[in-house]
């Protein structure tokens, strides 16, 4: 008899079209095609409706002369010579200025309030808790209107301006202070940026330097890396600083640096409001650290302040950073409420004045949405990198 054939142990091949991976790819391709078709139909319908209504489309308006003034400009701008594109950059820089300063102030205030809520001092803890409960339960728009109308607009008129030490004036049109005229400041700024980067690299690689890095005075070296390069650059570039003093006139104040009340109201409202939410994130992060860590720090002889700074807060940052990122995003997007008090941010200039002058709502709104999306993604990416950078060192 012929020898018995051994049964094959391999399963029959599954057809390509029945494999789960193949089906999932096909479904995703079909979904992408459907979304692209819907987007194309929507764009085609919008273009057809705009043409039927005889409304201009496209981005040709970008290079058209703006013809309107802007109260606060961080770059050169002229109503007669600047374009709508230039007005866009002015509004974007004004938004970034408020967002960056607001994030810094809200973070500092939020950490102080959050730590204060856990203070052993009864009065400090209750005041911090009252601040959080009061501020976060009042709408931000009402707070902005309060700071603008009830606080800043209640200041005296120009003729009754409050004279400040150093040649400044304060009135309901803003704060006027001496304007520093810096020569050779670009080199110093680059040197300062390089020093900050060098200090960050030193702190990040300190442990990898071995005994030399661990034995080095971290605070002293960090300060030297930040301060020394701009000082050397200032000496080599011949840095000079002159101040232009504001001069009181009959109906206005000429010269100097003007800080608008709209800017102050928006910055104060955003910082104070966001700090209340950051304080709760900080409190939650501190409570998430096991009590054994605090007791171990005290057992080593550390005082409460040193224990917070060296032991508790570094471990709490893993819990604090994710909600902190959300608050940074909220602050940046909430800055669009500046239109309610007349601060010339991106929304007020571009989605307001430029849109009204050109009538090209689709292009203007799409650009504005893309800007806020880009700012949000950049902030999220930076904070996610920071969270990933600090997490391994705390395990």
For 211-242, the pLDDT digits (tens) are 555 555 677 777 787 888 888 877 877 777 77
Rg of the chain over all Cα atoms, to the nearest angstrom? 29
Tokens of residue 189, six digits: 């700024």
First to last CA, the chain: 70
Residue 271: inside a domain? yes
- In Å, what is the CA distance from 45 to each residue of 50, 147, 368, 370? 9, 45, 21, 21
pLDDT value of residue 393: 47
Pick 109 or 235 by higher pLDDT: 109
% residues pLDDT > 70 (the chain): 89
Confidence of residue 106 (pLDDT cuts 50, 70, 90): very high
Confidence of residue 115 (pLDDT cuts 50, 70, 90): very high
Confidence of residue 394 (pLDDT cuts 50, 70, 90): very low
- In Å, what is the CA distance from 61 to each residue of 85, 90, 365? 8, 16, 14
What are the pLDDT digits (tens) for 314-339?
A: 888 888 999 999 999 999 999 999 99
**∠ CA 11-12-13 to the nearest 5 degrees?**
115
Rounded to two decimals, the pTM is 0.80
Cα 212 to its chain centre, rounded Å, is 37
At residue 7, φ and ψ (nearest 5 deg) are: -65, 135
Residue 95: inside a domain? yes
Strand 174-177 to 257-259 pairing: antiparallel
Q: The domain that contains 387 carries what CATH number?
A: 1.10.3720.10
Residue with tokens 């008129």: 157
Q: Which helix (H) or strand (E) holds 24?
A: helix 20-52
Q: Is the pLDDT of residue 90 over 70?
A: yes
Residue 380: inside a domain? yes
Residue 371: inside a domain? yes
Q: Please state the rounded mean pLDDT for residues 253-262.
A: 87
Q: Is the pLDDT of residue 32 over 50?
A: yes
- For residue 260, give every residue at least 6 positions away whose Cβ sits within 8 Å of its Cβ, in sequence order, or none: 71, 72, 174, 343
Percentages helix, strand, coil for the chain, rounded to the nearest 5? 70, 10, 25
The DSSP letter of residue 3 is P
Q: For residue 313, which of 173, 118, 124, 138 has the smallest C-alpha distance?
A: 118
Number of domains in the chain: 1
At residue 295, φ and ψ (nearest 5 deg) are: -65, -35
At residue 270, φ and ψ (nearest 5 deg) are: -65, -45
The whole domain housing 343 covers 84-163+261-394
Q: Please state the rounded mean pLDDT for residues 195-203.
A: 78
Residue 56: inside a domain? no
Q: How far apart are CA 109 and CA 27, in angstroms?
A: 50
Confidence of residue 395 (pLDDT cuts 50, 70, 90): very low
Most confident of 87-96, 281-290, 311-320: 87-96
Residue 293: inside a domain? yes
* Other C-beta atoms lying within 10 Å of the C-beta of residue 360: 22
Q: Is the pLDDT of residue 205 over 60?
A: yes
Residue 267: inside a domain? yes
Residue 238: inside a domain? no
Transcribe 288-334 into DSSP letters.
HS-HHHHHHHHHTT--HHHHIIIIIHHHHHHHHHHHHHHHHHHHHHH
pLDDT value of residue 192: 82
Pick 269 or 184 by higher pLDDT: 269
Spell out the SS3 assignment of 196-222. HHHHHHHHHHCHHHCHHHHHCCHHHHH
Tokens of residue 201, six digits: 């690299």
Pick 86 or 392 by higher pLDDT: 86
Pick 186 or 136 by higher pLDDT: 136
Cα 31 to its chain centre, rounded Å, is 35
Q: Please state the rounded mean pLDDT for residues 376-392.
A: 86
């Amino acid at each position: 008899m012929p020898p018995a054939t051994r049964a094959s142990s391999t399963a029959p091949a599954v057809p390509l079209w029945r494999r789960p991976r193949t089906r999932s790819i096909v479904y995703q391709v079909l979904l992408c095609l459907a979304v692209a078709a819907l987007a194309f139909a929507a764009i085609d319908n919008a273009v057809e409706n705009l043409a039927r209504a005889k409304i201009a489309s496209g981005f040709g308006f970008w290079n058209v002369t703006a013809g309107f003034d802007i109260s606060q400009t961080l770059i050169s701008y002229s109503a007669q010579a600047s374009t709508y594109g230039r007005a866009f950059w002015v509004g974007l820089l004004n938004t970034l200025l408020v967002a960056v300063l607001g994030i810094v102030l809200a973070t500092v205030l939020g950490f102080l309030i959050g730590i204060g809520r856990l203070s052993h001092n009864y009065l400090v803890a209750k005041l911090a808790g009252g601040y959080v409960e009061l501020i976060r339960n009042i709408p931000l728009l009402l707070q902005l209107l309060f700071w603008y109308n009830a606080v800043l607009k209640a200041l005296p008129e120009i003729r009754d301006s409050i004279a400040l030490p150093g040649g400044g004036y304060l009135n309901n049109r803003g704060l006027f202070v001496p304007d520093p005229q810096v020569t050779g400041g670009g080199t110093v700024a680059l040197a300062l940026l390089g020093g900050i980067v060098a200090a960050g690299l030193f702190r990040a690689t300190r442990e990898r330097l071995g005994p030399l890095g661990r034995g080095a005075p971290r605070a002293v070296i960090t300060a030297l890396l930040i301060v020394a390069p701009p000082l050397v650059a200032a000496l080599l570039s011949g840095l000079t600083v002159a101040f232009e003093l504001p001069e009181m006139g009959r109906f206005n104040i000429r010269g100097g640096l003007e800080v608008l009340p709209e800017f102050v109201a928006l910055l104060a409202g955003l910082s104070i409001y966001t700090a209340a939410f950051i304080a709760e994130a900080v409190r939650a992060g501190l409570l998430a650290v096991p009590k054994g860590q605090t007791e171990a720090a005290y057992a080593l002889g550390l005082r409460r302040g040193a224990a917070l700074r060296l032991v508790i807060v570094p471990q709490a940052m893993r819990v604090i950073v994710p909600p902190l990122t959300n608050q940074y995003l909220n602050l940046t997007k909430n800055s669009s409420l500046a239109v309610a008090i007349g601060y010339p941010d991106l929304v007020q200039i571009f989605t307001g004045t430029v849109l009204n002058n050109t009538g090209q709502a689709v292009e203007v709104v799409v650009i504005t949405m893309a800007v806020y999306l880009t700012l949000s993604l950049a902030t999220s990416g930076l904070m996610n990198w920071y969270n990933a950078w600090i997490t391994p060192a705390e395990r």
